[in-house]
Amino acid sequence: MTGFEVISDRKLVQSNVEVIHTNFFDEERWDNFLSSKIGITDDRRLTVIPLENGAGASMKIGLNQGTQYVFSLDLDRSEIPSTQPLLLAIRDGNMNILVSQEINASGLIYQQYAAVQTGIHFVTITQPTVDTIGPAFYLDNYYVYAMPTSGQDFVSLYLPDVLAYNDYYPFGMLIPNRFESIDDYRYGFQGQEKDDELKGEGNSLNYK
């Protein structure tokens, strides 16, 4: 008996995790931090061009004391010189840095923070040193999660997005009640394309 499952690369958030901010940049607007240019690209990413040292983008957010938050975003900093790190920071209402991290490479960035007071906070992404004016960095898939009181780490926020799962008898016959797939997933045994409309469910087999 053999089996396999197919999982996509999408991130599905568990139902007990509250999403309190999303990346609708034209609705939940980011502000300039110091002197910078901010815009939205055709593919709906936020573009930020720092014009002086320490400039970037800022988002205001209300946090509750004692709640654990996860700030997550995709960052493209490929235009920024590799010798110039960016800075992701969570700040209080007076712009004092509460927690921060340097960002030296593009990719998924996340920051955990347990709020010590209730009130307005700011998320900022800045470029501490700007040697050349013009290069931009880009934000996408920005989310802020309020964690359950039981506590979870960042990885356990997400559930797998299963497209299909199948258990087979030897030679590829499906085991009854041990298979399922979404409607538009086209592949079956050994990754072969299915033709269930003509051959019946699970009968699209070309032995290799």
Instruction: Work out the pLDDT band at 138, boundaries 50, 70, 90.
Output: very high
What's this model's pTM, rounded to 2 decimal places?
A: 0.66
Establish if 89 belongs to a structural domain: yes
Q: Which position has the higher pLDDT, 24 or 6?
A: 24
Establish if 97 belongs to a structural domain: yes
Nearest-CA neighbor of 66 among 102, 28, 108, 118? 118
What per-residue confidence (pLDDT) applies to 169? Answer: 72
State the residue range of the domain holding 169.
2-9+160-199
Secondary element (H or E) of residue 121: strand 119-127
Residues 54 and 118 in one domain: yes
Residues 125 and 182 in one domain: no
Q: How many residues are present in the chain?
A: 208
Residues 99 and 190 in one domain: no
Residues 127 and 190 in one domain: no
Establish if 104 belongs to a structural domain: yes
Residue 84 sits in a domain of what CATH number?
2.60.120.260
Task: Give the model confidence (pLDDT) of 51-90 as tens digits.
Answer: 999 999 999 999 999 999 999 999 999 999 999 999 999 9
Residues 77 and 170 in one domain: no
Task: Please report, for residues 44, 60, 103, 121, the alpha-carbon distance to residue 27 in angstroms, rounded to integers and kept in the order given.
Answer: 12, 13, 26, 18
Establish how many alpha carbons lie within 13 A of residue 94's alpha carbon, considering only the half-sphere containing its beta carbon: 3
Residues 108 and 177 in one domain: no
Establish if 115 belongs to a structural domain: yes
Look at the chain and report how many structural domains it folds into.
Answer: 2
